[in-house]
């Protein structure tokens, strides 16, 4: 299925076969989707590219279709692969991509700039329970990171940075959004603070979610608890053992 998705999504799909069978890679690899979107993939980020464009990991358990002109919020956008995938797969979505880590955000902005037809807004910030700042830890020696986290376990090689923070209600208000048709989250543990503090009336404006869930150190910071909580807020849910959780309004 991976290769079917690759051919379905990527126009120059044969480039991947060259990489797989040992041709000297260009870094970054530049892909073009079937809808004309340019995707730059540093070799360090190839696994993330494959998960989104070849495994279609965020679509696998969705409970309803995404409508035309959808509003998509991408929390933990990293360098923008899901945002670009959403622009490729959905019909003219408006995408708000939120990413706090400077190196990731720089490539996210570049993806926006080289794809002017995509309605992509980039915000360098974290998302949490409200406005303010948040401290994140990540390995700065890694040119692009997929693991910046709010969890406080210390590793000597980690860098701590303080970043601006806002909540989901703040996002909706700041960008004049009356709805969110798809909320994608991969924010390395911040999902609990974001969702457990989100007012119930705000959930009524969020039609569907696709979440990567991370085990936390405290009670309630696990996929079982988050699944139950979203059901209590009016969602149907589906999950995979690997930590993916989908929720959609009943």
Domain ranges across the chain: 57-249
Phi-psi region of 199 (alpha: psi -120 to 50; beta: other; left: phi over 0): beta
Residues 56 and 5 sit within 8 Å (Cβ to Cβ): yes
Structure confidence by residue, pLDDT tens digits, 92-148: 999 999 999 999 999 999 999 999 999 999 999 999 999 999 888 876 655 555 554
Q: How many Cβ atoms sit within 10 Å of the Cβ of residue 140?
A: 15
Strand 126-127, strand 159-166: pairing? parallel
| Angle separating helix axes 81-89 and 102-114, nearest 10 degrees | 30
Strand partners, 90: none
Say if CB 96 and CB 136 are below 8 A apart.
no
For 57-249, the fitting CATH number among 3.40.1160.10, 3.40.1550.10, 3.30.70.1450, 3.40.50.150 is: 3.40.50.150
80 in Cβ contact with 57 (< 8 Å) = no
Q: Rounded to an integer, what is the distance from CA 139 to the centroid of its chain?
A: 19
More confident residue, 51 or 135: 51
Nearest residue to 171 (alpha-carbon basis) of 223, 126, 118, 135 = 126
Q: How confident is the model at residue 188 (pLDDT cuts 50, 70, 90)?
A: confident
Burial call 31-43: b when 16+ CB within 10 Å, e when fewer: bebeeebebbbee
């Amino acid at each position: 299925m991976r290769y079917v998705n690759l051919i379905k999504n990527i126009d120059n799909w044969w480039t991947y076969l060259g990489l797989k069978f040992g041709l000297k890679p260009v870094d970054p690899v530049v892909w073009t989707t079937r809808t004309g979107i340019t995707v730059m993939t540093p070799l360090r980020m190839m696994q993330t590219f494959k998960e989104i464009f070849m495994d279609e990991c965020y679509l696998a358990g969705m409970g309803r279709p995404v409508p035309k002109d959808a509003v998509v919020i991408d929390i933990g956008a990293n360098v923008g692969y899901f945002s670009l995938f959403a622009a490729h797969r959905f019909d003219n979505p408006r995408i708000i991509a939120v990413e706090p880590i400077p190196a990731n955000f720089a490539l996210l902005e570049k993806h926006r700039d080289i794809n002017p037809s995509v309605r992509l807004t980039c915000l360098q910030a974290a998302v949490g329970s409200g406005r303010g700042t948040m401290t994140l830890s990540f390995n700065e020696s890694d040119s692009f990171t997929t693991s910046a986290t709010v969890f406080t376990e210390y590793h000597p090689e980690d860098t701590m940075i303080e970043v601006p923070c806002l909540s989901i209600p703040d996002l909706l208000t700041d960008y004049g959004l009356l709805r969110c048709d798809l909320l994608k989250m991969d924010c390395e543990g911040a999902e609990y603070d974001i969702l457990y503090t989100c007012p119930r009336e705000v959930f009524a404006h969020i039609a569907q979610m696709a979440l990567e869930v991370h085990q936390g150190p405290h009670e309630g910071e696990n996929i079982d608890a988050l699944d139950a909580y979203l059901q209590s807020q009016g969602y149907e849910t589906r999950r995979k053992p690997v930590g993916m959780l989908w929720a959609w309004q009943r």
